[in-house]
Amino acid sequence: MKSSLLITGATVLTVNSSDEVIENGAVLIEGSRIADIGPTDILEARYPNVEKLDAAGHAVLPGLVNLHLHSGLIRGTAEDLPVFEWLAKHVDPKHRALTEEIAEAAAKLCYTEALLSGTTCVMDMYRYMHRCADAAERLGIRATLAPYVVDKPGMDYFETLDKNVRLVEERHNTADGRIQVWFALEHLTYCTEDAYRRAAALADKYDTGIHTHGEESWEMARKLKQETGLWPVELFFDRGILGPRTVLAHCVWLEDPEIDLLVKTGTSVAHCPVSNLKLASGIAPVHELLQKGVTVGIGTDGVKENNNLDMLEELKFVPLLQKARLLDASVVTAERALRMATIDGAKALGRDKEIGSLEIGKQADLIVVDYRKPHLTPFLSGKYNNIVSNLVYSASGADVRHTFIAGRSIVRDRVLLTDNSEAIRLQAQEAAEKLFVLREPYIPV
């Protein structure tokens, strides 16, 4: 018999096609699915004998989708450098020293942080991703795994396309479909033209997606244009990877022809505002992308460049940056930002039929956010409803009280139920200390 739970008394943010908000609403979970949604009094009368979870003073909304992150352990130690110097001094030496045991400890830590702060689905670009799959399966998170593939000479410490194929064959659509595997390429300067063409063919063969970094650096965008005669997105198009099953991270610097190619091919973008600010990369033209119909989701990027995985914190930066960039306070509303972090991220991953909004029949991936806090007061409905605005501009991951994935209670009262979060933290601490020792010989003088 399927287990049932009725969440009652909440403000339900459905993020459905009409952005319906149900005040004093309820959501019925049966097994892994959402079985009913509506006013609390009606659902309580309809289902008098099911277990209830009182969510008065809370909002219930779809679990957040982090469309671009890198698991990792060097948080707070790779600071105040431009992107390519930062890569050379901190990130590439880390990759040279990384072991699969350390990679799993990093994945467990990052997935735990994500779950506790309301993220139910991630696109993780990392290494030794069979161990990341183990972590995702154990913790219960929904994950699309995208291995760092690099094939330029002298960079054989990254993943290969052959390993990526093996991961697809072994772990794609496992854990009841929660775990998916895509083909992933690090960057245009790290990968050969052949790697892109082969990845496109493999993605077609295995019916999966492609993930790579769009350009963050204006200097690199110009350099690629000078060397090849094409802007970065034009290079991606020429090499055959653009399409509705492709997600490009960042895309900070886009020329009009590049935006037109994204529109033409149905390619999605993962916008990472905090990372782009911290690395002084710039501000992506998100308003223009949205206006032209490009699907744009939100990512935190990794802990080394953010420095956290708090998607609710990330949400605030999305509209604020566009308003400041365009000197127009009306662009990118709070409601639009919430859609980007939920249903649009799900659409970019090809999962929008299953997750990303609260609708009958969809997977019960949802979070419960506690508004009984000074920084979220007043909690207003009706004419002066401020629930979405306060979520986007005032809330943080610390306000998430409960997290459900596929109907399973993953976080209850801010406690991780699927593993021991303190043991995960201690393991990550030990792994990080070991990683810094192993990395030392590879740091350039």
**Whether the Cβ atoms of residue 345 and residue 356 lie closer than 8 Å to each other:** yes
User: pLDDT tens across 376-408, in order?
Assistant: 999 998 889 999 999 999 999 999 999 999 999
What mean pLDDT do residues 257-273 have? 98
Q: What CA–CA distance (Å, rounded) separates 284 from 361?
A: 35
Q: What CA–CA distance (Å, rounded) separates 12 from 36?
A: 12
Q: How many domains does the chain have?
A: 2
What mean pLDDT do residues 415-425 have? 98
Percent of the chain with pLDDT over 90: 95
Q: In the listed set 348, 380, 404, which residue is the last one of a domain according to the structure?
A: 348
Classified as helix, coil or strand, 213 is strand
- Same domain as 172, residue 292: yes
- Same domain as 233, residue 372: no
What mean pLDDT do residues 244-258 have? 98
Task: Specify whether the backbone of 102 is left (phi greater than 0), alpha (psi in -120 to 50) or beta.
Answer: alpha
- Same domain as 149, residue 103: yes
**Whether the Cβ atoms of residue 249 and residue 299 lie closer than 8 Å to each other:** yes
Q: Is the pLDDT of residue 63 over 80?
A: yes
Instruction: State CA 257 to chain mean position distance.
Output: 27
Classified as helix, coil or strand, 167 is helix
- Same domain as 99, residue 10: no
Instruction: Show the tokens assigned to 298.
Output: 């939100």
Mean predicted lDDT score pLDDT of the chain: 97
Q: In the listed set 293, 325, 348, which residue is the last one of a domain according to the structure?
A: 348
Asked, for residue 442, whether it belongs to a domain, the answer is no
Percent of the chain with pLDDT over 70: 100
What mean pLDDT do residues 50-55 have? 98
Instruction: Show the tokens assigned to 360.
Output: 């009958």
Burial 409-430 (b: 16+ CB within 10 A, else e): bbbeeeebebbebeebeebbee
The alpha-helical segments, DSSP class H, found in 304-413 are 311-326, 334-339, 345-348, 387-393
pLDDT-based confidence at residue 3 (cuts at 50, 70, 90) = confident
User: pLDDT tens across 149-202, in order?
Assistant: 999 998 888 999 999 999 999 999 999 999 999 999 999 999 999 999 999 999
What mean pLDDT do residues 244-273 have? 98
pLDDT at 60: 98
Q: What CA–CA distance (Å, rounded) separates 293 from 259?
A: 10
- Same domain as 256, residue 206: yes
pLDDT at 81: 87
CATH number at residue 403: 2.30.40.10
Instruction: State CA 95 to chain mean position distance.
Output: 21
User: pLDDT tens across 12-51, in order?
Assistant: 999 999 999 999 999 999 999 999 999 999 999 999 999 9
Instruction: Show the tokens assigned to 277.
Output: 């600010």
Strands 210-213 and 246-249 turn out to be parallel
Residue closest to 308 by CA, chosen among 153, 112, 148: 112
- Same domain as 273, residue 221: yes
pLDDT at 328: 98
- Same domain as 267, residue 399: no
Asked, for residue 388, whether it belongs to a domain, the answer is yes
pLDDT-based confidence at residue 87 (cuts at 50, 70, 90) = confident
Whose tokens are 């190619």? That residue is 261
Asked, for residue 438, whether it belongs to a domain, the answer is no
Cis peptide before 307 (omega within 30 of 0): yes
Instruction: Give me the phi and psi of 406, to 5 degrees please.
Output: 50, 40
Q: Is the pLDDT of residue 85 over 90?
A: no
User: pLDDT tens across 354-374, in order?
Assistant: 999 999 999 999 999 999 999
Calculate helix-pair angle for 161-171, 129-139, nearest 10 degrees. Answer: 30
Q: Where in the sequence is the domain holding 129, given as residue range(s)? A: 64-348
**Whether the Cβ atoms of residue 117 and residue 309 lie closer than 8 Å to each other:** yes
pLDDT-based confidence at residue 1 (cuts at 50, 70, 90) = low
Asked, for residue 380, whether it belongs to a domain, the answer is yes
Asked, for residue 422, whether it belongs to a domain, the answer is no
pLDDT at 94: 94
For residue 237, the surrounding DSSP H or E stretch is: helix 232-238
- Same domain as 273, residue 183: yes
Burial class (CB in 10 A: 0-12, 13-18, 19+), 73: buried
User: pLDDT tens across 304-353, in order?
Assistant: 999 999 999 999 999 999 999 999 999 999 999 999 999 999 999 999 99
CATH number at residue 73: 3.20.20.140
Least confident window among 65-74, 118-127, 133-142, 152-161: 152-161
- Same domain as 105, residue 22: no
Asked, for residue 12, whether it belongs to a domain, the answer is yes
Walk across the sheet containing 179-181 and list its strands. Answer: 64-69, 119-124, 142-145, 179-181
- Same domain as 249, residue 126: yes
- Same domain as 92, residue 10: no
Instruction: Show the tokens assigned to 31.
Output: 């097994």
Q: In the listed set 348, 373, 396, which residue is the last one of a domain according to the structure?
A: 348
Burial 134-147 (b: 16+ CB within 10 A, else e): bbbbebbbbbbbbb
Q: Is the pLDDT of residue 2 over 80?
A: no
The radius of gyration of the chain's CA atoms, rounded to the nearest angstrom, is 21
For residue 39, the surrounding DSSP H or E stretch is: strand 33-39
Asked, for residue 445, whether it belongs to a domain, the answer is no
- Same domain as 164, residue 120: yes
Instruction: State CA 391 to chain mean position distance.
Output: 18
What are residue 149's DSSP bridge partners?
159, 185
Please state, as a whole number, how many other Cβ atoms lie within 10 Å of the Cβ of residue 187: 18
Q: What CA–CA distance (Å, rounded) separates 116 from 240?
A: 38
Asked, for residue 355, whether it belongs to a domain, the answer is no
